């Protein structure tokens, strides 16, 4: 079992009711889903934050960082 965890829950994530921790049967499945989510959020969300996938051992983090104005 592999988890994907958001490092912060910004307003856009809360508004979309996205869970902070999501579990997947395999790391490959988790990596595909996390990458797809991060890319979609970078394209479609409010642009206050940027999203990137970071490996954390057997699990993944979706790093949520403030964009510089």
Report, as an integer, the average pLDDT of 2-20. 95
- Structure confidence at residue 69 as a pLDDT band (50, 70, 90): low
pTM of the predicted structure, to 2 decimals: 0.91
Q: Which range of residues forms the domain containing residue 43?
A: 2-66
Report, as an integer, the average pLDDT of 40-52. 95
Provide the domain count of the chain: 1
H or E element that contains 56: strand 49-56
List own/partner pairs for 23-31 with CB under 8 A and 24 or more apart.
25/1, 26/2, 27/2, 27/58, 27/60, 29/2, 30/2, 30/3, 30/4, 30/59, 30/60, 31/60
């Amino acid at each position: 079992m592999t988890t994907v965890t958001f490092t912060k829950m910004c307003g856009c994530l809360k508004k979309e009711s996205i869970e902070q921790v999501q579990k997947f049967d395999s790391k490959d499945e988790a990596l595909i889903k996390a990458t797809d989510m991060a890319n979609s959020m970078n394209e479609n969300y409010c642009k206050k934050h940027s999203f990137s996938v970071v490996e954390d051992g057997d699990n993944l983090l979706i790093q949520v960082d403030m964009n510089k104005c």
